Amino acid sequence: MAFYSKKVMEHFMNPKNVGEIKNADGIGKVGNPICGDMMVFYIKVKDNKIENVKFKTFGCGAAIAVSSIVSEMVVGKTLEEAINLKNDDVVKALDGLPKNKIHCSNLGADALHKAIENYKNKLLNNTEEK
Ligand code: FES
């Protein structure tokens, strides 16, 4: 485990925001084509800002650390700021990941972006129905 940064280990051993949001405004699910692991993000949105985030990760330690730090990075951010979060930003925030674990970092921002898309689509559908 020595190849993981202290930050990765902290988030892996004590992940933040694990769980599910009932009546989430947006849900994003992604699967990693390389290893088959999965991640689900739930978001609550208020006044165009991410008010709450929860996640469930069925994956490796790096994927758990990635989910945890992504959830911390985007609470209180506007949807635009959250959409601009890149996989590279996540890796940097974790003080790096081993080369063979970089693919795990892709899940975090992707799942979050999907949850935001899901929220925007719901909003659009609601507007169209009225
Ligand atoms: Fe599957 Fe890391 S090995 S997400």
What are the tens digits of pLDDT across the range 9-56?
999 999 999 999 999 999 999 998 888 899 999 999 999 999 999 999
Quote the pLDDT of residue 128: 67
The pLDDT of residue 130: 53
52's torsion region: left (phi>0), alpha (psi -120 to 50) or beta?
beta
Instruction: Report which of 64, 63, 23 is spatially closest to residue 43, judged by C-alpha positions.
Output: 23
Res 4 pLDDT > 70? yes
User: pLDDT grade, residue 106 (50/70/90)?
Assistant: confident
Sign of the CA dihedral 42, 117, 81, 60? positive
pLDDT grade for 126, boundaries at 50, 70 and 90: confident
Count of domains observed in the chain: 1
Query: CB neighbours of 99 closer than 8 A, spacing ≥ 6?
Result: none
C-alpha 73/C-alpha 87 separation (Å) is 12
Ligand 1 mean position, distance from CA 38 (Å): 8
Look at residue 1 and tell me if it is in a domain.
no
Domain extent at residue 70: 6-129
Residues with beta carbon inside 6 Å of ligand 1? Answer: 32, 35, 37, 59-60, 62-63, 104, 107
Residues 6+ apart with CB under 8 A from 25: 43, 44, 45, 119, 122
**102 in any annotated domain:** yes
Handedness of CA 48, 115, 44, 12 (dihedral sign): negative
120: domain CATH number is 3.90.1010.10
CA of 12 to the centre of ligand 1 (A): 13
Q: Is 104 a catalytic residue?
A: yes
Q: What is the pLDDT of residue 129?
A: 58
pLDDT in tens, 86-104: 999 999 999 999 988 988 8
Strands of 26-31's sheet in order across: 26-31, 38-46, 49-58
